[in-house]
Amino acid sequence: MSKNFGGIFSIRRSCALLFLGLAAWNNTFSQTGRVVTELKTGWLFIKKDLPNAAKNTLDEHNWKKVTLPHDWAISGPFREENDLQTVQVAEDGEKKAAVRSGRTGGLPYTGVGWYRLHLKLNKADETKNHYLEFDGAMSHAKVYVNNRLAGEWPYGYASFHVNITPYIHFGEDNVIAVRLENYPESSRWYPGAGLYRHVRLVQTNTTRIAPWGTFITTPEISTDKALVKVQTKIETEGNPQEKVQLITTIYNQQHQKLEEHITVTNAASTTIQEINIPHPLLWSAENPVLYYAVATVKKGNQTVDEYTTSFGIRSIRFSQEKGMLVNGNIVKLKGICMHDDLGPLGMAVNKSVLRYRFALLKEMGCNAIRGTHNPHAPEVLDLCDEMGFYYIDEAFDEWKSGKVKNGYHLLFDQWAKKDMEAMIERDRNHPALIMYSIGNEIKEQNEPDGAAVATMLRNICHATDSTRPVTAGFNNMNPAIKNKLADAVDIPGWNYKPEFYAQLHRQHPEWVIYGSETVSTVSSRGAYKLPTTIGVMRKWSDNQSSAYDLEYCSWSQLPDMEWEGQKNNFVAGEFVWTGFDYLGEPTPYNNNWPSRSSYFGIIDLCGIPKDRYYLYQSHWSDQKVLHVLPHWNWKGKEGTNVPVFVYTNYHSAEVFINGKSFGKKSFSNDSLLDRYRLRWENTVYEPGELKVIAYDKDGNVAETKSIKTAGAPAKIILSAKTTTITANGDDMAMITASIVDKDGNLCPLSDHLIHFEITGAGKIKAVGNGDPTSLASFELPERKAFYGKCMIFIQSTQTTGNITLKASGKNLQTGSIELKSIQ
């Protein structure tokens, strides 16, 4: 038995833009009948509540000029009192309330903030329709136009539209004002604050394709052809019975026209067109081929609207025995969970930083992302489509029963249906999207009537998009089963239950099984702790967690434990908590300030891989991996045991210290850890060279790695995966600063303060080092190294040319790197 959830899905893209009296780089994109202006610059911001902030005439000299996306809280400062609270966190197994600090990052995200933007729209366009498109606004947004309330949307993660046409003064100055308010104790992690995603002004004719108005599916796919069904919603402010032509044209990635379909329909209608694509190229994570459809609406010979939708052709089927099948092939989900924040950038979305992070995931062998625990920015799904990741779209962390005092449960009854529909209508065309998650570890698992809520949400999903299954992440397994929530969804997801996969499959053969949230191992990059104890996380005096990857939570496991469950062919895969460290939730240091960000990440808060990255890479990827840990600077430990771990997928490896062999090891079933990592517990530290030789199955030397004891810190090395950025004011390059000795060996214990200076066509946007305890501002042009490394985020301007970044520190040779900003 299997569950088949349909074929082709697409990326919604409404293209086109304006002219407006706005700053120079508010990008405008145009198609016939539709103009879309991205409103980046010209905004003013103030962090206070003002009774007259929406008025057209206002003294604005105390308002700050900002560029969107903008997170008002990431500037800090970090303070314990910003989010100090007494709370019982049932999800962490707590039986009573306790004091927590750093839960939302220790950043000042609460309170009221106002944004203002002046617009002048042409008198000639007063017959047009105008609406604002918000990808997200944190939170409780109220949108005013010329001091009149035009619309509101409280859920800070939701995308929404506001029709501003009735409120515009054409030919005159208009003021767009947005009031946002974040309540204390409204989140379990750092939610950010402000207009942290993109905002656009969309101008259309009075007859147009509705926002998110296309829905593309393929009920039939073969090697010879794919049947593409394009559903298009047209709306009008004129005669709804007036006849129009709907012309849908399909193009491939090379912009070659493939097929076209013409339908005569009403000016207010929802029309389904069926188009056959010969010899389609199928989308998958391994081969993310995209097409696009252009929907054109005509009255007579006049084009009144055009709307472009990008899509990919593929089939998804879930089998109770085989897991997930993509285009008929079994695919194991090797996924990660991911919160929205981008570390030092906060919640302000940036596509180039997301691309950098996703490239790291791809190189690790990851093929799937669960967007936790709320709708993510459209850029996330766009990149999943483009780069090849399967994606779970998650709506809520709360239903009617709250986890935090001012959480989503206060909005649920009035807004849940609207928020679910907005998420699905925005995202349902993405080929990457495989499931909708209606909730994460919701408290209704324990309630007899919880299944009724789950059923209501599932039905909303099915009514809006019947082609994808509905899931939820359940951590309370027995109550979720007893209270029928697991039966209310199409595919129940299990958080931290690898030892029960076989039992669940045996007792419920009708269910597809997968790990919706797994592992929760904690570590700090570079912070190796002795002795190497396996077990539930401990608290160290420096508020770090051991980089030996042996510490996990009371409710969770090590990667090795999860992989034992994943060996079952019927398990569809897993989503590791988490791909990246994130701001807030500093488990296990929940009441140990100054910890203010998580330790769960495979990659640290900046985007520097931890050792665990290479453990996953050795298990998930097809490339050969040889990674050695720890560092080899252990002054004071001479003559004592310092264990050596090797993360590899070679057949065997041998460890040498200053030429002395400590033996060859192969993977063994004698113990759990030795099935997935090679460990030498008897290695004795002495300064010099730690060398590992890897062998293939025939005993031949395949690869060699060595780590040398570093001398005194001598210089700074700057490196980047790319040294070219686009001069659009958005694009970023991530530069890693490493402190090395005179021979170029990383100084793994260095915490030198590094100062940065930039010249040319770029600017320093943020700095960070991955230290979960650092209270230094992300915005200062300096940073202490954390175990020898830190990272700088360089943002382009509107100017092309060379960029020079220099890094200096006390008694260190200055490092520099040259970048280029191009059109």
Spatial contact of 158 and 140, defined as CB atoms under 8 Å apart: no
Structure tokens at 510: 């009708």
Q: Where are the beta strands (DSSP E) in 164-301?
A: 173-182, 199-204, 207-221, 225-236, 243-251, 257-266, 269-278, 291-299
Give the tokens for residue 429.
Answer: 């065309």
Two structure tokens written together for 741:
């000795």
Closest CA to 495 of 95, 187, 190, 91: 91
Report the candidate in 334, 347, 782, 405 with the shortest Cα–Cα distance to residue 582.
Answer: 347
- 441 catalytic residue (yes or no): yes
Backbone angles phi, psi at 19, to 5 degrees: -130, -45
517 is catalytic: yes
Half-sphere exposure of 109 (CA within 13 A, CB side): 35
Tokens representing residue 312 in the block: 């990919």
Neighbours of 120 (CB within 10 A): 15
C-alpha to C-alpha distance for 98 and 295, rounded to whole angstroms:
56
The amino acid sitting at 560 is D
**Token pair 């093929």 in the structure block, residue:** 367
The three-point CA angle 509-570-561 to 5° equals 115
Active-site residue (options: 133, 379, 444, 517): 517
Beta-sheet strand order (sheet of 626-629): 626-629, 644-648, 678-680
DSSP code string of 599-655: S--SB-SSS-B-HHHHHHHHHH-SS--EEEES-S--TT-TTSB--EEEEE-SSEEEE
Q: In what order do the strands lie in the sheet with 291-299?
A: 9-13, 302-312, 291-299, 243-251, 257-266
Query: What is the rounded distance in angstroms from the CA atom of residue 194 to the CA atom of residue 7?
Result: 37
Q: Which of 379, 398, 441, 562 is catalytic?
A: 441
Can you tell me which residue has the tokens 């656009």?
A: 200
**Structure letter (DSSP) for residue 427:** H
What is the chain's percent helix, strand, coil content, to nearest 5?
A: 15, 40, 45
Q: What angle do CA 605, 472, 371 make, to 5 degrees?
A: 30
How close are the terminal C-alpha atoms of the chain, in Å?
Answer: 53
So which residues are the catalytic ones?
441, 517
